[in-house]
Structure 1
């Protein structure tokens, strides 16, 4: 999956400093354009947290609500977020997708040569597979501060393959990192054909996407894991 490059040892050394890596030009350009095209025309569910529970709503679920119900839904989502736990974005799970082309994206991520390169870059030798979803963030979307290491799921490395063109940082949607005490650290803006990888110990968020954002924040995200695929 990775584009040919001659700086793998340099990238490996960068990851070793802080268990994080931002890799521009990650995919061959033609492949990046192909995946971008798939994401641009994919069907998405609305992924949100309401009253502490994750919910996926299809287009029919949203359209069947009254205006008052939709307003209350957003109020509930924002109430959870105001207490530090919540998310709102569009998602499409790649595994089991009804679109074979979307399944093909996950197959490329799980190609033996891709997994071997990730093991080499990170030094985590027990990585066996990856999961993934396509994500689309629009105005009003966000993902509050969290870690990606719930017990029992054997997540090792989180990844974000950013396939967003002409994004302006003022639009939000930044991959924001935090210190363990909650202080903001640094942030990585969405961009074109950039793969971000980081150890799941890192606290992070996706900052609020402003109503005036002029594009969709498109990416493929997930985790490289150990163990057997579920």
Structure 2
């Protein structure tokens, strides 16, 4: 029997005031049976992609929010140091300053772990009282509703999932995320997920989520950026996001994070008006 699709209702405000209607919901496509998906997930060693994962109109609404109503920060690293630059700060940088940042990223990427992409810090924004609450945070609440958690516990076979963290990502031409495992020191991360909201992506544009054979370094599987698809995989596992090509004309949108077994940083409910 197909489980009931999780639903979300809630009012959301920002500097633009009302931005998420009481009548709008996020729903998993009821055509998907989590028990059947669990068999496919286990058969590939704890990894899968599910197309048409959400109800189509809900996925379209999230795509539009990511494209037009989301504040994008710049994320990159300098060795172990993480840089997360908000849009207000980026606007103050001159072109020579930006070029210097990008040149350093390219230099470090030749020999070590490196990444460069745009992101929106959904979990910190949700719990930080002074940060604006954008409409994309509705997806974070949806992911943490009891019905959604139960759905993913069934799908992954991991009964100890307690909550889901999230950040939105945007990869443009020249953006990339080198090989890593998503492993964490205390083992709080159970499963990684990527909710894809990318339209019209061409296969030659790069930006694939790639998984590697640990012995040969060959790519054993890769998922093309897509619209309304979810990628799931147990962690730790070697993977990367290939560089988006210089001639790519599209934008790679997603909401991504981990199903976690530790305690959440706070309670989930309506963002206060």
TM-score by shorter chain over 0.5: yes
How far off its partner does 1:156 sit? 0.3
| Greater helix fraction, Structure 1 or Structure 2 | 1
Q: CA RMSD in A?
A: 1.5
Deviates more, 1:116-125 or 1:98-107: 98-107
Equivalent residue, structure 2, for 1:208: 243
Aligned 8 A contact 2:32 2:53 in 1: no
Alpha-carbon distance change, 183 to 6 in structure 1, aligned in 2, over 3 angstroms: closer
Distance 1:152 1:195 in 2: 26
Does 2:176 match 1:149? no
Unaligned runs of 5+ in 2: 1-26, 127-131, 266-273
How far off its partner does 1:7 sit? 4.1
Does 2:40 match 1:14? yes
Instruction: Give CA-to-partner distance per residue, 1:164-184, whole Å, 9 cap, x none.
Output: 111011001100101223332
Equivalent residue, structure 1, for 2:28: 2
Mapping for residues 175-194 of structure 1, pairs under 5 Å: 175-181=209-215, 182-194=217-229
| Greater strand fraction, Structure 1 or Structure 2 | 1
Unaligned runs of 5+ in 1: none
Equivalent residue, structure 1, for 2:84: 56
Task: Report how many aligned residue pairs link the two structures.
Answer: 230
How far off its partner does 1:8 sit? 3.3
Equivalent residue, structure 1, for 2:104: 76
Instruction: Give CA-to-partner distance per residue, 1:49-89, whole Å, 9 cap, x none.
Output: 12431101123333333333222211111222222301111
Equivalent residue, structure 2, for 1:114: 148
Larger Rg: 2
Does 2:55 match 1:28? yes
Instruction: Give CA-to-partner distance per residue, 1:72-130, whole Å, 9 cap, x none.
Output: 21111122222230111110011225124222110001111111111101111100100
Does 2:190 match 1:163? no
